[in-house]
A and B are shown apart, each in its own frame.
Chain A
Amino acid sequence: MIVNEQVAIDHGLKKDEYAKICELLKRTPNITELGIFSAMWNEHCSYKSSRLHLKKLPTKGKQVIQGPGENAGVVDIGDNDAIVFKIESHNHPSFIEPYQGAATGVGGIMRDVFTMGARPIANLNSIHFGSPQHKKTKNLLRGVVHGIGGYGNCMGVPTIAGQTNFDSSYNGNILVNAMTLGLVKKDKIFYSKAAGLNKPVIYVGSKTGRDGIHGASMASASFDEKIEEKKPTVQVGDPFTEKLLLEACLELMAGDSIIAIQDMGAAGLTSSSIEMASKGNLGIEINLNKVPCREAKMTPYEIMLSESQERMLIVLENGKEEQAKKIFDKWNLDFAVIGKTTKSKKIELHFDGEQVANIPVNTLVENSPMYDRKWKKAKLPKKNKIKKDDIKNLKIIDVLKKILSNPNVCSKEWIWQQYDHTVMGDTIQKPGGDSGVVRVHETEKAVAASVDSSAVYCWAHPLTGGKQVVCESFRNLISVGAKPIAITNCLNFGSPENEDNMGEFVECVQGIGEAAEFLKFPVVSGNVSFYNQTKEEGIKPTPSIGGVGLIKNYKKMITMDFKEIDNIVLVIGKTEGHIDQSLFARNILDEKNGPPPEVNLFNEKNNGETLLKLIDSGYIKSAHDVSLGGIITAVSKMCIKGNKGIDLKKPKYLINEIEYFFAEDQGRYIVEITKKDQKKVTDLLNKNAVHFNELGTINEDQLYIDDKTKVTIDELKTSNTSWLTNYMSK
């Protein structure tokens, strides 16, 4: 096939990008080379629109062992233990083929983690769907949930937490973000940097097929009415092979024969070989006839661009090939020496005795395009004033029930019951709490993880929204008694070529950066997913933040269920009555405008750290952060979980009842304490200048407001638990 500008454009490259390739090579590339360039230079692999802005994120910290740039981030949790973690998107494939798209998303992120030598110990996910009324939503939800479960359950890794949202902006572009945490010994972390000359380059895992060719390019473009034609670009997952690959890799890693290892994810053999060569400042020579292929007559182009799953590339010490091969034979996996490292600093490919590609590595990596895209700064919308007439006829209990059964608030048990969340025998906090918690096997330590997003806030004001998501993650970790360590982010946005979308990206990243910096909650890994749009319709800006924290003694873990009758309930943090962009405003008042709640980073940090002190002193019996639906929603959930009621008293504030109970002001937690400890707790809160109110006392089974309004917890429970099950069974 003759390569020209049109062929390059068909590969998703721009005219000037093609010109740059010809200039760098000082000749016209052949078709294999063009394929390699298009794979390395697409948005998904090159981060060409985002790199400039991602550089501003804080990535360092006392506990950070490895920040962005490797397969995953790594943080120190003491005693030579480290946690490897990352979140990644699989949005485009999941919309085209929900089961396989979601399954391979989970498979891919687990591979990123065990590539670094870590055994995966927990999975999480953040999934976003269109309006429940949209005709595709139900099937997409079912397919994605089956896919996530199908892969994670088979791997034997518990899925411990997640988040599911519905919003019509995802009608044409769902989001599937998968996160994995792995446990590794600090002195046994593996990296992807190749080193040494003439070292054997080994291919292990599944055979290479024609599936997923150009997957990464597909994920770097918008959808149109022809998306169904893109099904062949979706990879097909085989969790069984991945389980074998995991065990085989960990067995090989126990020895000292690996120099570098890299999984074949997006852009397959192309990106894995080039990344290893680039990081090691070396060249790599590969004989493509040696690559184990699933199908006959695969061309070099197909072999290099296949995104077949469950494959790894390893640079081994000389002379260790036999020993390594034995391990992969034992696990019935392919093992082939396909090439070697060279000093040429080029990627040289041979097939049927001919050289089929010869590209300097730096042209693919350092010289890849980087754009400073135009972007528009968002204005802070004007505040709305609640009209007395709008709320005077509202009955607070009716509103509460409506909110508890809202798709974005209701119980997601229908989903997480389909995920094995208890395998590995260390899950001490299941899905449905503020964070999932797993013990560090055979130690007193436990790791908490949560994944959050607040697209509505980010849409209303990206800078505030970006900050808010990080704070929410911080709070979710603290609510279970974990000290926040670091985050991973999955940045889901529309087209970077659209100034508004690009502005949303830039400002969300700025907000994430500011909050992460202030809270000492650095970003150690992540991924960017642009072009989440169909035709001109983009999604709401949706950065998902995966937070990880440490509980030093798992017996001090906190859960959100109310524990004991007569205990006192406090709300920590100040309630100002911010209603704009709240669930109440959007769903009860049908008011979609206005600014999101303000984020005060000082209060966030101070409130959170003070609560951690209270937890550490043993004063806190249960805790839950206040988010969607405000105080009364948070309290109701604690009642439902604990099968207890509460006598709520609205403090004598200037704001009215509705504002007090449904406002979504930030930096707040609900906590349960005993009467006996009340003075010690309030003294400590006062000493640290933390604002708080007493909300009420726990009772047997009713929710009272100021002794007059009441509802049974069973009724609230029905509102909260029935929506999703009913929706899915219709």
Chain B
Amino acid sequence: MKSSVITFPGSNCDRDMDVALKKFGFKNKMVWHDDVELPKSDLVVLPGGFSYGDYLRCGSMASKSKIMQSVVNFANSGGMVMGICNGFQILVETGLLPGVLLRNKYLEFICKNVFVKINNKQNSYFKNIDNDILEFHIAHNEGNYFCTNNQLKEIEDNEQVAINYCDKEGKSEEQFNPNGSIKNIAGIFNKQKNVLGMMPHPERMIDPYLSGEDGSLFFNNLINNLK
């Protein structure tokens, strides 16, 4: 399986993603934001970080990078595109995913483990995964997902909610919402479910000595689904 990780100026989880993808069997290539063409890929990943410093709306500058036209075309032709954290923000800015990511409700950066409930397994990202609840790790300042009521209805009708923040038992209540996201949303798909954006970093959960191993479950499952 071939993957590509896009490096924008200010990306800082690009190496971590490269390490994770390779660990689970992907042949990964790093792609520079200023390139025009995407290498042949089964999966394209937009990594976390602070692209262009995020001085404007997070992800907005990166969404105009040269490479993004190819990423959008790839996604529109059914290619798998996953955006993590800043990558999620970029996907929202390109319009591949609906809604926006606002500043965290308590106006503070949050770095900690959270539980998320998988809301939809009818897609190549979560199909065949045994667990319903995963322990993931978040590290962000702008992860407060927001959209209009009409958009929300559409997202829910199309089963586009990928994961929700919850507790260990899967209760998705306000008190387990770390950032004020609407309906505890931690990640969403596009209509076709080939594009996934999520705030948690599965690449930081791939080793028992790190924050946990549920990222390993995710990547193992992902590569098997793509085979």
Contacts and interface: CB of A to CB of B under 8 A. Distances in A.
Contact of B210 (A153, A418, A422): A422
Contacts of A155: 12
A422 B85 CA distance: 14
Interface string B1-42: 000000001101101100110000000000000100000000
A331 B139 contact: no
B108 interface: yes
B193 interface: no
B55 A156 contact: no
Contacts of A426: 210
B16 A418 contact: no
B12 A243 contact: yes
Contacts of A428: 209-210
B48 to A, nearest CB: 8
Given A417-B112, A425-B210, A153 B10 contact: no
Nearest to A119: B15
B53 A240 contact: yes
B53 A422 contact: no
A239 interface: yes
A424 B209 CA distance: 13
Contact of A422 (B20, B55, B137): B137
B12 A417 contact: no
B111 interface: yes
Given A149-B109, A243-B10, A422 B211 contact: yes
Contact of B50 (A243, A419, A421, A422): A243
Interface residues of B, number: 32
A238 B53 contact: yes
Given A418-B108, A418-B110, A239 B53 contact: yes
A294 to B, nearest CB: 16
Interface in B103-142: 108-112, 137, 139, 141
A86 B110 CA distance: 27
B111 A244 contact: no
Contacts of A419: 109, 111
A607 interface: no
Chain A contact surface mostly? mixed
A391 interface: no
A436 to B, nearest CB: 13
A240 B16 CA distance: 19
B93 interface: no
Interface in A419-443: 419-428, 439
Contacts of A418: 108-111
A554 B208 CA distance: 12
A244 B16 contact: no
B203 interface: yes
B9 A244 contact: yes
Nearest to B50: A154
Contacts of A243: 9-10, 12, 50
A332 interface: yes
B204 A240 contact: no
Interface string A130-154: 0000000000000000100110011
A424 B15 contact: yes
Given A156-B13, A240-B10, A420 B139 contact: yes
A524 B85 CA distance: 38
A332 B51 CA distance: 13
A150 B142 CA distance: 13
Contacts of B211: 422
Interface string B68-112: 000000000000000000000000000000000000000011111
Nearest to A424: B16
Nearest to B215: A425
Contact of B53 (A154, A156, A330, A439): A154
Nearest to A428: B209
Nearest to B139: A420
Nearest to A430: B211
B111 A239 contact: no
Give the most central of B54, B55, B112: most A CB within 10 Å: B112
B209 A420 contact: no
B210 A417 contact: no
Interface string A542-557: 0000000000001101
Contacts of B141: 153
Contact of A154 (B10, B13, B110): B10
A240 B52 contact: yes
B49 interface: yes
A328 to B, nearest CB: 12
Given A153-B141, A418-B109, A423 B55 contact: no
Contacts of B209: 428, 439, 554-555, 557
B109 A425 contact: no
Contacts of A150: 109
Nearest to A426: B210
B6 to A, nearest CB: 15
B203 to A, nearest CB: 7
A420 B210 CA distance: 14
Interface string B188-212: 0000000000000101101101110
10 contacts: A153-B141, A156-B13, A240-B9, A244-B10, A418-B110, A419-B111, A425-B15, A425-B16, A554-B209, A555-B209
Given A156-B50, A418-B108, A425-B16, 16 more contacts: A149-B109, A154-B10, A243-B9, A244-B10, A417-B110, A418-B109, A419-B109, A419-B111, A422-B137, A423-B139, A424-B15, A425-B15, A425-B19, A425-B210, A427-B210, A557-B209
Interface of A: 146, 149-150, 153-156, 238-241, 243-244, 330-332, 416-428, 439, 554-555, 557
Would you list the 8 A-B pairs with minimal beta carbon distance, nearest first?
A156-B12, A240-B53, A425-B16, A154-B50, A428-B209, A420-B139, A418-B109, A422-B204
